[in-house]
Amino acid sequence: MPFWKTCNFRCCCVPLLLVSLLAGLTGCERVDSQFRFSEETELLAPQAEQAVKQTLVANFGSPDDPRIPVFFPVERGQISLTVADFDPEKPTELLIEKPDGEVELVGKRLELLFDPEDAFDVQMEAMEEEQPNPLDGLDQLTIAGYDAETGTITLTQPLPDVELIEPGLELAAAPNSYLAEGERLYAQHCLHCHGVTGDGNGPTAQYMEPKPRDYRQGKFKFTSTGPQDRASDADLAHILREGIPGTYMPSFKMLPEEQISRLVNYVKFLAMRGETEQALNIEVGLDFASKVLEEELEDVTDPEEIQEIKADFNEELDEFILEVYPEIALFGMLDLADAWDAANDEDAIVYPTTARPEPFGPSVADPSRTSVENGRVLYLGKDAQCASCHGDAGRGDGFQTRQLQKRRDGSDYDVPGLHDDWANPLKPRDLTSDIYRGGRRPIDIFRRIHVGIKGTPMPAFGGKSLTDDQIWDIVNFVMTLPHDKGPTTSHPPAEGAVGMVGNE
């Protein structure tokens, strides 16, 4: 009997082989993942919760089908087309201006890029006349056929007879293709820390200090833009390429340019989705959070009265969702889109108005001192108060790290010390450690002081409490701190200095 027919072989090896094959196959299967809704959304009254969730799903899709309204400044990827003619008599046909080159359109989704405000008016008008929404179901449009000769698109469903569909209307075929690419890259490189929803709560996040960024507030720490501005695309790409030393965020320099750009877009997409959710929760939650009703019912015992209050609450809520909510949702998103758009404006980027003086040369702000010396005086001084957090010797041990700080709602945090906007405890940077998270070029450190670090207690000093020349002196002082050459105790305390000097 040949050896492969022996019982020994069959009993042991075959099952083993099968098991290992199966294990290999299941290991590669894609995990079904969904965007998670925030806690605040879950705490809204049921109908309100439903409405917010619907807005998010309709506008931002799911990880398997990410989408974003076209007015957001995200490169979402699409084949751009323009309507040449539309005849309401033939509602399933659309004549387009012939695109350059060959395009594969059949089977692709088609979006009609109405002006969002015009489309909103049309829908509202129909609602007031108690007509069905004419734009309903337009997000399901698919191209059934395309005649390249005549430029005629045949659709799987008829278009409504509305004035919005006219020559010159922009179309997007196969929309959001870049977002889908971004999602794949994000799943591969980022998701395990930053989470499917971008809430900084992926499976490996629990091992990390500091915590991975939660994008949903739209706050990114290290930007070149002004204190109130969002992060620019270049800022996000810079962090991806350079990483953040001193944290778990590694450098992704080896990724090709195109992949970096897809990732930046996807991260922005997650931030916009999260911010939209947050903005809606604030607007809706003010009157229609579950706890609002609970508070109203707190001292009421009469069952009839309870019913009455509940009915009133629900009636008000239904009216709100029908009449006010759509407007809030749309204009909230439009504002958000504008804010993100502004961050990529050339004017939003902060540049110093003066050059950096030599660290050991004379200071421009105070020519009687060298730049580093003046930086030290400012560091300890009342205007900047750097030492109150970063410590007299720059070791990140200022007195604020031992004080109880207040939450945004006015209550005390559980532990003393500083906290970021996500309520995580936060240590001021030890400036002697020679680690600069936001970059170590002079311009990087200048911007950290000028525009602050977003989402953290590090304020923006630029244009308000410090001049650019003064900031340069502090930059020079901070840059020399980790080195032996930096002045530490050889100078007397500055006039009006906060705290003691040289207590090391």
Q: What is the CA radius of gyration of the chain?
A: 29
Could you give the C-alpha distances from 493 to 381, 392, 490, 496, in angstroms and in order? 10, 10, 10, 8
Closest to another protein by CB, 199 vs 242, is: 242
Q: Which is nearer to another protein, 110 or 475 (CB)?
A: 475
**Minimum distance from residue 231 beta carbon to another protein (Å):** 17
Q: Give the integer Cα–Cα distance in Å for 350 and 366.
A: 23
Smallest distance, another protein to C-beta of residue 141, A? 41
C-alpha to C-alpha distance for 446 and 436, rounded to whole angstroms: 12
155 close to 144: Cβ distance less than 8 angstroms: yes
Residue 476: CB atoms within 10 Å: 27
Residue closer to another protein, measured from CB, 103 or 443 = 443
| Minimum distance from residue 493 beta carbon to another protein (Å) | 24
Smallest separation (angstroms) from another protein to the CB of 195 = 16
| Inter-axis angle of helices 325-343 and 116-128, nearest 10 | 180
Cβ burial, residue 458 (10 Å; 0-12/13-18/19+): buried
Cβ at position 128, least distance to another protein in Å = 53
- Segment (H or E) for 386: helix 386-390
Q: In terms of CB distance, is 96 or 451 closer to another protein?
A: 451
Residue type, 221: K
Q: Tell me whether residue 68 or residue 393 sits nearer to another protein (CB atom).
A: 393
Distance, C-alpha 43 to centroid of its chain: 22
Please tell me whether residue 172 adopts helix, strand or coil conformation: strand
Q: How far is the CB of 253 from another protein (least distance, A)?
A: 4
Give least dist CB 351 to another protein, A: 5
What does the binding site for another protein look like in residue numbers (CB under 8 A)?
Answer: 1-3, 189, 192, 204, 242-243, 245, 248, 250-254, 351-356, 359, 434, 440-443, 446-447, 472, 479-480, 482-485
Q: Which residue, 310 or 440, is less far from another protein as judged by CB?
A: 440
Compare residues 310 and 441 and give the one whose CB is closer to another protein. 441
User: Is the distance from CB of 280 to CB of 38 less than 8 angstroms?
Assistant: no
